Structure 1
Amino acid sequence: MAYLTPDDLERLAHKRAGAKLGWYIHATVYVAVNLLIFALSSYAFGHRPWSVFPLLGWGLGLALHGVAVFMLGDGSSLRRRLLERERERLRREQDHVPRS
């Protein structure tokens, strides 16, 4: 990782913390709403299996949000490795280009 000034570190820390907090809020709302939907489908309308559809659909969205925040976000180890590989590939390509 390149050297970052204290201001850059602070900005990056705020950005990462904000992204993680956004996911935690998303997960909390997901659990609360799906519990309500499950309760309504079970008690108000009799047992109806339809409540699993929003659970699965929204759950997929929550999982993808988590991947974006925790695995692919700025500064993640996966992103750093991919970035370094791409830099090396570009350097090798540039070294093989004939100069005029």
Structure 2
Amino acid sequence: MGKLLSIWNFIRRHKYLITTLTFAIIIGFLDENSIMHRVAYAREISHLQEEIQKYRNEYNESTKRLNELTTNPEAIEQIAREKYLMKKPDEDIYVFEEDK
């Protein structure tokens, strides 16, 4: 009984400290909006923003390439030669592959 009474007296003397620590633990680690979750969400947001920027750059490059193809017939010939290995009748094509 003496041990229980001493624990009760400790709790009565330090009730504000115990309440504050309990609140900090709940908010910091256990809550769904905890600090740990917020850090993870911030990392995910930055990763997604980098991905968005990558796709925007890719879109801009593709748009430039499309505009070039619609206005420049030499660009169509270049793509036919590079991608599809087309050639004129009097030409020879040599394909070099890089070792990875």
TM above 0.5, yes or no, is no
The structure with higher relative contact order (CA 8 Å, sep 6+) is 1
State TM-score, norm by structure 1: 0.37
State TM-score, norm by structure 2: 0.37
Looking at CA atoms only, which structure, 1 or 2, has the larger radius of gyration? Answer: 2
| The structure with more helix, counted as a fraction of residues | 1
